[in-house]
Structures are given as structure tokens and as C-alpha cells.
């Protein structure tokens, strides 16, 4: 079983951490049995499962439904659940209530939320209830309307220094890991060296402690999304479309 303790040991030993998203029982079962270390029930479910443009519309109830389905398929991996937009930004009491609902109703292992200093009080309150927290800095998709673009973050010194400061705050607060999304590789490598907790990157170069991808993207189910950092390991769109075509031909 992968625990937060196992992840911190992996960082100490220099062993890289593998992480992928899953949103349902059947996929989570395959991903877990293939030996992944961490499964993220990402709020990217809002995009790849529900077809929304952004991660903002997905609700706490919907995340709980996805997460409970994933947990039923997993025996070994650590399961982390994204707290959706609107479930923790209001105040720390609301954040704690949302995190408790996720843990009680899904039996997941940990939660993830986006942001640094501005949500520190919520993070501290959730941690003090004994719930493991994974941070998420850099491109934080729940703030897309503030950023106005999905382009790389923290290229300028001021934003980079704030990110490093936030990473230290998350570590000091007691987060067990941090996701860094779409920031310069050198900055991500610096954070991974400066903090003692695992740093998992997505579009953040190879100098971090592990990598995460959205499973629909890496399997090639989602053909429209192709950022530079994305390595595709399969063309499942073509496979499924071919199989469906063969089935239709047989039926006809
Ligand atoms: O929701 C998600 O899939 C994520 C990953 C991109 C890290 O947060």
C-alpha cells in the first residue's frame, strides 16, 4: 500500500513518483493494477468526463461520486481527491466541512487544493483534523478567469519568488506533497531541491520528484488537447473508433 510516508521515503531515496488521474472504478482498477503510485481524482473530470470548458462547474457531490467509484477499484495506490472550485475558498470552516465530506463519503486517502498563502488557513484547519493535504501551485486551473490563459506561469521573477515562498509555507504547514503545474523547469527543480516533501510536476520539467498526467491525455483519448509537455503513450481514440467501426460493420 502506498501511503504519504512511502512517498516521502521515495523522495529520500531519489525514487520517482508516478501519478495519473482516474475518475471511475474500471479505469482506476487497471491503473492501480499496473502499479501506479498515486491516483488523482482530478477536477479535470469536469473537462474530460463532463465536457465542460473549465474545471469550475464540477460540484462537491460530483467529485465525491467519482472519488468513491475510484476508491472501490483501488487496492494499492494512494488516492488523492481534488477539492472542487467553491468548496474551500469561502472560509476555513467551509473548507474543513468539504474535506471531511470527501474523506467520509469516499474513503480516499488525501485531498488536494489549489493555492498558497491565500488559502493557508484552510489548509491548516484541514490538516489539524488529520486529513493529509497535497498542495497545487503554478498554473492552478480553478483560477483560469484570473489568469486569462493556460500559458506557462511564474516566468517573471516576482511570481516565481511568490511560488517558492508558497511552496515553503505549504511544507511548513504540513502538506505531504505539492503539484507544480506548467512552470519553468529550472524553477520547479529549485523548489524540489529546497523543500523536503515530494514535488510532482506536470509541464514542469524533469527535475522534480515525480510526474502526473491526465489519463485521457496520455492515452490519446482526447485528441484536441496537445500541449508541448504532453507525451502520448497510446492512440486510444483511433483504437476505440476502429473497434466501434468494426462492430457497426458486423451488425450491418
Ligand atoms: O485535475 C487534475 O487533473 C489536476 C492535474 C492536472 C494535476 O489537478
What are the tens digits of pLDDT across the range 67-119?
999 999 999 999 999 999 999 999 999 999 999 999 999 999 999 999 999 99
pLDDT value of position 222? 85
Asked whether 213 lines ligand 1 (CB < 6 A), one says: no
pLDDT value of position 227? 85
Asked whether 200 lines ligand 1 (CB < 6 A), one says: no
pLDDT tens, position by position, 185-230:
999 999 999 999 999 999 999 999 999 999 999 999 988 888 888 9
- Among 140, 179, 208, 216, the mutation site with the greatest number of ligand 1 atoms within 8 A of its Cβ is 179
Read off the pTM.
0.98
**Strand segments (E) across the chain:** 17-21, 38-41, 78-82, 110-112, 133-138, 177-181, 199-202, 210-213
> Looking at 117, 181, 194, 224, which residue is catalytic?
181
Using an 8 Å Cβ cutoff, are 21 and 214 in contact? Answer: yes
Residue 195 DSSP label: -
| Among protein residues, the one whose CA lies closest to atom 8 of ligand 1 | 42
Residue 13 DSSP label: H
Q: Between helices 157-173 and 120-128, what is the axis angle to 10°?
A: 20
pLDDT tens, position by position, 143-184:
999 999 999 999 999 999 999 999 999 999 999 999 999 999
Which atom, in ligand 1's list, is nearest to the CA of 42?
1
Asked whether 154 lines ligand 1 (CB < 6 A), one says: no
Nearest alpha-carbon partner for 79 in 88, 87, 69, 89: 69
Kindly give the distance from the C-alpha atom of residue 186 to the centroid of ligand 1, in angstroms, as a whole number: 21
Distance of CA 177 to the CA centre of its chain: 11
Distance of CA 90 to the CA centre of its chain: 21
Asked whether 188 lines ligand 1 (CB < 6 A), one says: no
User: For residue 188, what is its C-alpha cell?
Assistant: 520547479
| Among protein residues, the one whose CA lies closest to atom 5 of ligand 1 | 42
Q: What is the CA radius of gyration of the chain?
A: 18
Does the active-site annotation cover 181?
yes
pLDDT value of position 225? 82
Amino acid at each position: 500500500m502506498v501511503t504519504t510516508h512511502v512517498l516521502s521515503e521515495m523522495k529520500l531515496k531519489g525514487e520517482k513518483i508516478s501519478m495519473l488521474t482516474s475518475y471511475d472504478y474500471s479505469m482506476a482498477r487497471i491503473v492501480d493494477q499496473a502499479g501506479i503510485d498515486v491516483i488523482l481524482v482530478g477536477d479535470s473530470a469536469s473537462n474530460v468526463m463532463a465536457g465542460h470548458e473549465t474545471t469550475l462547474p464540477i460540484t462537491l457531490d460530483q467529485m465525491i461520486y467519482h472519488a468513491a467509484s475510484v476508491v472501490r477499484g483501488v487496492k494499492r495506490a494512494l488516492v488523492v481527491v481534488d477539492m472542487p472550485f467553491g468548496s474551500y475558498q469561502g472560509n476555513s470552516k467551509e473548507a474543513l466541512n468539504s474535506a471531511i465530506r470527501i474523506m467520509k463519503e469516499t474513503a480516499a486517502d488525501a485531498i488536494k487544493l489549489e493555492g498558497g498563502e491565500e488559502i493557508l488557513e484552510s489548509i491548516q484547519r484541514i490538516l489539524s483534523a488529520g486529513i493529509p493535504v497535497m498542495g497545487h501551485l503554478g498554473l492552478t486551473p480553478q483560477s483560469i478567469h484570473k489568469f486569462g490563459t493556460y500559458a506557462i506561469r511564474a516566468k517573471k521573477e516576482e511570481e516565481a519568488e511568490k511560488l517558492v515562498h508558497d511552496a515553503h509555507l505549504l511544507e511548513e504547514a504540513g502538506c505531504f506533497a505539492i503539484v507544480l503545474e506548467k512552470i519553468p523547469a529550472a524553477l520547479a527543480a529549485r523548489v524540489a531541491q529546497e523543500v523536503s516533501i515530494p514535488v510532482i510536476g506536470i509541464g514542469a520539467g524533469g527535475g522534480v520528484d515525480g510526474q502526473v498526467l491526465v489519463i485521457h491525455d496520455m492515452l490519446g483519448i482526447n485528441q484536441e488537447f496537445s500541449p508541448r509537455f504532453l507525451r502520448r503513450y497510446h492512440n486510444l481514440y483511433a483504437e476505440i473508433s476502429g473497434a466501434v467501426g468494426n462492430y457497426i460493420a458486423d451488425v450491418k
